Structure 1
Amino acid sequence: MKTLISKEKDIVGIWGIQDGSGNPQPGWTEYFPTHDHSFCIIDSNGNVKNSIELERLTRVKHDHRLSKYIESFNKYLPEDFIVVSVNHLAGTSFISENALWRIENNPFEISDLITPTKVYVNRKEREGYICSHELAHIGSMLPFVGEFKENSLLIHIDGLASDSCFSVFQFKNGEIKYLHHGWEPLLVTQLFGFNDLTCGMLGLDENHRLATPGRLMGYSSYGKYSKKIREWLNKNNWYKEYWKNPNTIFPDIKKEFGKDIKGFDLKEHFFMDIARVCQQEFEDIVIPLIEKYQKETGSEYLYFSGGCALNINLNTKLFDSKKFKEVYVPPCCSDTGLALGAASIIQMLRGGKMEVHSPFICNIGVEKKKIPKLSKNTIEEIVDRLSKKEVMGVCIGYSESGPRALGHRSILAIPTSKDMYDKVNTEIKKREWYRPLAPIITEDLAEEVFPNSTETDLSKYMLSNFNISKKWIDKIPAVVHIDKTARAQVIGEKNKELEPIYAILKRMWDKYEIPCLINTSFNGPGEPIVHTDEDAIRSATKLGLDFVLIDNKIVDIKANGKKQGII
């Protein structure tokens, strides 16, 4: 369906559908859960003027209460603008807490791409559209690539969208063409969050299902694939509703495998093998689906988004298969990128261009922060302190879009001993023992340490695994996963947004011959990534970091942060 869209207005994108459960914790399953609400403004030239993931401001992980907070964003609105809202199986209409924002329901087909709807902001009618959840995921790539390459396959896969968990589009002859949407991989996508067995096995309850994907993926690397376990799980519908009858699984295990197991123990190899089977089943279903549409369309490039695109093992296999010339995944491929994606789709459909952005675009609430130029003395102090096994936080410029810390809101440390893994992962972050830490490295050293890491766009955003050169495995043990891979982030000298981190890495190599640093997200357990300077000081103090780089200042956390003029 062709829609005439105004060409000169700024575009306001929102993802804010309420799930209707009334549950204060995102992750509730009974009422088609929504999570990770967001807001953005893109101007007529394709620049992201303002962007925020709600959790960064409210400090509630995966916050799904945009209706409560959106009116506070009115001060960012231009005089005239378009509004595009992302829909969901939970609904399409939206109303803010004081009814100053109202978006009316207007059902449509995913194949329509977008549909006009009535929108009222501050009681004035505005030009408005609804974008499907599916297409908004696809659109979340545009701010980071500018445009899709000709003859590209555009695929979204997640747990739940507006009317599917899997959708396929093609970009050809300068247009997006709808191909398919459906529920084919639902069972395996739900293994990573909406399956009672995997959640329960990992020690999570129904209000923390959104923590499952990363944990299950990391844990699966410790297991071995077992056809017998796979057949047993499949026969029992993967114990999807295990919590309804939790007394059955352990007798079933004893009957089927002769193992007298009384409870979930993650050091028990049987559960490691279950996790490995889940990961393998996910790959065995998803990869053939993607390859089916690649073969049918002859597409040369893959743009892949949705929550399932955070599965590093899957991305690695898609890249290694060489079925596509390149595989692209945006840094905000989860629901965090939906507002951005919908606004970008509107910009594209009206014939506008998108500027290529770094991932550092979350600027609401930190508008005054800049990228610092570090002095030689500052760099020298940082690398010397890191070499002594101190752990630092970073809070520079705008924060990252998406769930990965990519250098602006990071915790950094040297990876040269196993005890640094224990210090950062267990003592500071209080994460589970089976979860890997990722390295950050400069482009000129990346191939020596992580072969092939400069050959893919995925390494920009920490979205693929790479083998580690034998020479380096024993020298950087803190970032070596059990399968001898690392989820490396590669940064180049020309990346101005990461100039301070590049300078630190370069000096660390020149002075101490340490090629990379541990890079993990700057947040505590159950918390969003820090956003403001105040968040950084508060979190660093709570976590026990040694110091924090706040723009161009080193703040010693052992001293009083107030004396540094930060708080």
Structure 2
Amino acid sequence: MRNHIGIYGIPDDGRKFSPKGNTHDHGMASITAERCTMVELERYTREKHDNHMPSHIMDILPSMTAPRDEVVITSVSSFLGSGFESDDGAFSIQPVSMEISDITRSTECTVNGHSVEGKVMCQEFAHIASCLPFIGSFEENSLLIHIDGGATDSASSAWIWESGKPTMIRASWDDLKDVVNNYNVNPLAQSILGLTMEDHLSMPGKLMGYASYGHCNAELEAWLKSNRWFLGTEDRNELLREINGFFGTNYTEFDNHKQEFMDVAYAIQHGFEEAVLGYIAEMKDRTGAEHLCYAGGAALNIDANSRIRNESGFKSIFIPPCTSDSGLCLGAAAWSYFCENGEVPKQSPYLGPNEPTILDQVEDLAKELSERKVIGLVTGRSETGPRALGHRSIIARADNVDLRRTLSEYMKKREWYRPVAPVMLESVAETMLSDYAPGDRLAEYMLGTYHVREEYLDKFSGVVHANGTVRALVLKDNREPLFRILVELLEKYDIAALILTSFNTRGEPIVETVEDAMRSGKVLGLDRVVVL
């Protein structure tokens, strides 16, 4: 059996941008005709954003292969290079010289002294190819977009899929670099949120949540843009003087409870949205594309995604659940499989390597949840990507602000301004969310926002953002234990949705095993951990 292995594991260069270095979210994926499996290194080692694949590859690789497999290994390159070797020397991928438009190049790969078919793949298209396990193949006349902080040789790229193959239209470091950097290294945003350069991987989610408290101020946005968003201005006293000068205030410190700072965050978010939508619109006009597949870390920005859905005019839009660097290994495996077979077997987002033994019963949970219990849920294989999708999640009633505060701020120790997301049945979404339409794939992976109809706001009081939206996960598969729990909650207790947040303590990855869950559940102080 041909086993297509994808690896993202280029080691760091030692010039530390943060404690994790310049690479993050290493992983390995395997795709055969029968099964797709993905190991995100952080969940294996319990080190958030782990980038030490060279230390672990020879422990993980045997679990991804069978004795008679004919293995093909594709390694994803980065701006740091294209080759790497395991710490013990048992595995090596030789570097290659290639252009982004080549997508892949064959190279020498050695495992335990044996030669294995090997390839190197550009990071740009590995992001895009991470869509394939969930859609099978690209639609004819699809625009393929990657936007991320730094790939092999660009921060953004655009491709057109025609006649069964991709053609690169554009790749650049400059087109969107500033607006992407606003979301991970902007000194002004860091000052407002009390963060440092070391928080560049967690800042985007925090800034996006905080921005929902701000108001539109075109003059403010124009001023920030004219100052290049103050990128590179590290002196916080100087930044505060600039803010006081613009607003006519006399603040002596950054206080994220003040409206002026909320409005700055809104302006950064809006500037990001305008730049991304403008870029995609330009590429759409240039190619005449009818469909969009979009990946890269920037595609985790749910407000921008929702505007793309509502304003771009594509017939279909798809963003994968593992759209960040966590999905690069999957994209590499998927592209290798696709090039040989013309289509990738469609997968759910639950690709983790471990499937626990069922220990508990669904029937007990609805009553406990109705009684305002906070429950950790472990079921089936873990979800891929950074978002909780119901298999390694913490759940509680979505209609109670105090319960949300207990879970988010006291148990998980998250900031006051960060919202939590709801999970609901599609019948509920169709009735209670004004801009949800059946077939909206953003809602399958919690990648879009939706407005709650005013008459139903009380049912979502614990999960509504300050701007009146929710980041909803809509469940359609009635085989899922969480689907059955939601049905019982709706029918017996008139509870329309649950809070759904990732099952992890502050600073750790999402739990993978039952043992991880029990340990984290105890630290968090959950009422119960269930295994279904």
User: Contact 1:144 / 1:356 at 8 angstroms: preserved in 2?
Assistant: yes
| Matched position secondary structure for 2:462 | helix
The structural deviation recorded for 1:26 is 5.2
For 1:69, the equivalent position in structure 2 comes to: 56
What whole-Å deviation, never above 9, does each CA across 1:118-165 have from its counterpart, x for those lacking one? 111112121111110000000100111111111111100011111111
| Matched position secondary structure for 2:98 | coil
What whole-Å deviation, never above 9, does each CA across 1:448-488 have from its counterpart, x for those lacking one? 12234334111000110011011210232001111111111
For 1:96, the equivalent position in structure 2 comes to: 86
| Matched position secondary structure for 1:117 | strand
| Matched position secondary structure for 1:247 | helix
The structural deviation recorded for 1:333 is 0.2
| Matched position secondary structure for 1:501 | helix
Q: Give the whole-Å Cα distance in 2 for the aligned partners of 1:423 and 1:373.
A: 27
Q: Give the whole-Å Cα distance in 1 for the aligned partners of 2:306 and 2:320.
A: 15
**Residue range with higher mean Cα deviation, 504-513 or 315-324:** 315-324
**Letter of the 1:163 counterpart:** D
TM-score calculated relative to the size of structure 1: 0.90
Q: Describe how 1:268-279 pairs up with structure 2 within 5 A.
A: 268-279=258-269
User: Contact 1:46 / 1:353 at 8 angstroms: preserved in 2?
Assistant: no
**Aligned with residue 412 of structure 1, among 380, 395, 400:** 395
User: Contact 1:27 / 1:209 at 8 angstroms: preserved in 2?
Assistant: no
Q: Describe how 1:5-154 pairs up with structure 2 within 5 A.
A: 9-21=2-14, 23=16, 27-28=20-21, 33-43=22-32, 45=33, 47-48=35-36, 50-76=37-63, 77-78=65-66, 79-154=69-144
**Letter of the 2:2 counterpart:** K
| Matched position secondary structure for 2:294 | strand
What whole-Å deviation, never above 9, does each CA across 1:486-541 have from its counterpart, x for those lacking one? 111111144x3xx2111100000111011111111111111100111011011110
Q: Give the whole-Å Cα distance in 2 for the aligned partners of 1:432 and 1:485.
A: 19
**Letter of the 2:382 counterpart:** S
What whole-Å deviation, never above 9, does each CA across 1:45-65 have from its counterpart, x for those lacking one? 2731x3110000111111111
User: Contact 1:421 / 1:479 at 8 angstroms: preserved in 2?
Assistant: yes
1:393 aligns with 2:381: no
**Residue range with higher mean Cα deviation, 525-534 or 346-355:** 346-355
User: Contact 2:8 / 2:28 at 8 angstroms: preserved in 1?
Assistant: yes
Q: Give the whole-Å Cα distance in 1 for the aligned partners of 2:404 and 2:35.
A: 39
| Matched position secondary structure for 2:495 | coil
For 1:155, the equivalent position in structure 2 comes to: 145
The structural deviation recorded for 1:339 is 0.4
Q: Give the whole-Å Cα distance in 1 for the aligned partners of 2:282 and 2:452.
A: 32
The structural deviation recorded for 1:194 is 2.3
| Matched position secondary structure for 1:81 | strand
| Matched position secondary structure for 1:89 | coil
1:477 aligns with 2:461: yes
User: Contact 1:442 / 1:502 at 8 angstroms: preserved in 2?
Assistant: yes
Q: Describe how 1:401-550 pairs up with structure 2 within 5 A.
A: 401-453=384-436, 454-494=438-478, 496=479, 499-550=480-531
Q: Any unmatched runs of 5+ in structure 1?
A: 1-7, 552-567
Q: Give the whole-Å Cα distance in 2 for the aligned partners of 1:416 and 1:251.
A: 42
Q: Any unmatched runs of 5+ in structure 2?
A: none
Q: 1:22 to 1:285 in 2, by over 3 A?
A: closer
| Matched position secondary structure for 1:156 | strand
Q: 1:64 to 1:26 in 2, by over 3 A?
A: farther
**Residue range with higher mean Cα deviation, 221-230 or 234-243:** 234-243
User: Contact 1:303 / 1:329 at 8 angstroms: preserved in 2?
Assistant: yes
**Letter of the 1:237 counterpart:** R
| Matched position secondary structure for 2:459 | coil
Q: 1:455 to 1:73 in 2, by over 3 A?
A: closer
**Aligned with residue 199 of structure 2, among 204, 208, 216:** 208
| Matched position secondary structure for 1:68 | helix
User: Contact 2:240 / 2:254 at 8 angstroms: preserved in 1?
Assistant: no
What whole-Å deviation, never above 9, does each CA across 1:81-136 have from its counterpart, x for those lacking one? 11100011111111111011111110200111111111111121211111100000
For 1:384, the equivalent position in structure 2 comes to: 367
Q: Give the whole-Å Cα distance in 2 for the aligned partners of 1:211 and 1:450.
A: 29
Q: 1:253 to 1:452 in 2, by over 3 A?
A: closer
Q: Give the whole-Å Cα distance in 1 for the aligned partners of 2:127 and 2:322.
A: 9
Q: Give the whole-Å Cα distance in 2 for the aligned partners of 1:330 and 1:500.
A: 23
1:263 aligns with 2:263: no
The structural deviation recorded for 1:24 is 10
**Residue range with higher mean Cα deviation, 500-509 or 17-26:** 17-26
**Aligned with residue 182 of structure 1, among 152, 172, 194:** 172
Q: 1:279 to 1:418 in 2, by over 3 A?
A: same
Q: Percent identity?
A: 38
The structural deviation recorded for 1:252 is 2.2
For 1:326, the equivalent position in structure 2 comes to: 316
**Residue range with higher mean Cα deviation, 283-292 or 343-352:** 343-352
TM-score calculated relative to the size of structure 2: 0.96
Q: Give the whole-Å Cα distance in 2 for the aligned partners of 1:140 and 1:197.
A: 33
| Matched position secondary structure for 2:254 | coil
| Matched position secondary structure for 1:528 | coil
What whole-Å deviation, never above 9, does each CA across 1:330-353 have from its counterpart, x for those lacking one? 000000000000111111222342
Q: Give the whole-Å Cα distance in 1 for the aligned partners of 2:451 and 2:338.
A: 37
| Matched position secondary structure for 1:181 | strand
The structural deviation recorded for 1:269 is 1.0
User: Contact 2:20 / 2:51 at 8 angstroms: preserved in 1?
Assistant: no
For 1:3, the equivalent position in structure 2 comes to: none
User: Contact 2:399 / 2:461 at 8 angstroms: preserved in 1?
Assistant: yes
Q: Describe how 1:230-269 pairs up with structure 2 within 5 A.
A: 230-243=221-234, 245-269=235-259
| Matched position secondary structure for 1:102 | strand
| Matched position secondary structure for 1:219 | helix
| Matched position secondary structure for 1:411 | strand
**Residue range with higher mean Cα deviation, 186-195 or 329-338:** 186-195
| Matched position secondary structure for 1:464 | coil
The structural deviation recorded for 1:299 is 1.0
Q: Give the whole-Å Cα distance in 2 for the aligned partners of 1:175 and 1:155.
A: 15
What whole-Å deviation, never above 9, does each CA across 1:533-558 have from its counterpart, x for those lacking one? 0110111100010001113xxxxxxx
User: Contact 1:83 / 1:128 at 8 angstroms: preserved in 2?
Assistant: yes
| Matched position secondary structure for 2:403 | helix
Q: Give the whole-Å Cα distance in 1 for the aligned partners of 2:48 and 2:113.
A: 31
The structural deviation recorded for 1:172 is 1.4
